[in-house]
Amino acid sequence: MRAVIQRVTKARVVVAHRTVGSIDAGVAVLLAVHHDDGDRQIQWLAEKIINLRIFSDSDGRMNRSLADIGGEMLIVSQFTLYGDCRKGRRPSYHEAAPPARARELYERFIKEVAHHGTKTATGCFGAEMELSVTNDGPVTIIIDTPAMNP
């Protein structure tokens, strides 16, 4: 899995002129599923993001996690994170999971995050979406899950 995490003061997703998901302070996560991903990647990434210390403590140091601040997570599927642009002018998406498998793992990731007690909001898998974020910092982190058996 590959995730782009942005610390936000607020974020929302609009589909067909209707807000389908929104959060206040927390993180917006753009999530791509690799064709080799499975439960281990889901569990590892959910725990990593929830406990990533990217929020300021009373001294202004990034020393608090999403769990520490009781923050929210907006999760948006984005297979294009696996776009390989090294050859030609059109990205190749051969590393991304097929849509049915990606949807299944995306939905399981959302459940895993919620299982940890984090309030979640989402986009609509496969839909054309408008994502509005108010970056906080800005702080943007890219995480790839390590190679492990699915």
Averaged over successive runs of 10 residues, the pLDDT of the chain (150 residues) comes to 98 98 98 96 98 97 97 97 94 96 98 97 96 97 85
Could you tell me how far CA 73 lies from the centroid of its own chain?
Answer: 8
Cβ(146)–Cβ(5) below 8 Å: no
Superfamily of domain 2-144 in the CATH hierarchy: D-tyrosyl-tRNA(Tyr) deacylase (3.50.80.10)
Cβ(105)–Cβ(37) below 8 Å: yes
Q: What is the pLDDT of residue 109?
A: 98
Question: Structure pTM?
Answer: 0.95
Considering 6, 78, 120, 145, which one is annotated as catalytic?
78
User: Alpha-carbon distance 75 to 27, whole Å?
Assistant: 9
The tally of CA atoms less than 13 A away on the side-chain side of residue 123 is 25
Q: What is the pLDDT of residue 147?
A: 79
Q: What is the pLDDT of residue 150?
A: 54
Please tell me the total number of residues recorded for the chain in this structure: 150
Q: What is the pLDDT of residue 148?
A: 76
Considering 41, 55, 79, 109, which one is annotated as catalytic?
79
User: Alpha-carbon distance 14 to 12, whole Å?
Assistant: 7
User: Alpha-carbon distance 72 to 81, whole Å?
Assistant: 22
79 is annotated as an active-site residue: yes
43 is annotated as an active-site residue: no
Cβ(27)–Cβ(5) below 8 Å: yes
80 is annotated as an active-site residue: yes
> What token pair was written down for 115?
């299982």
Q: What is the pLDDT of residue 149?
A: 63
Domain residue spans of the chain = 2-144
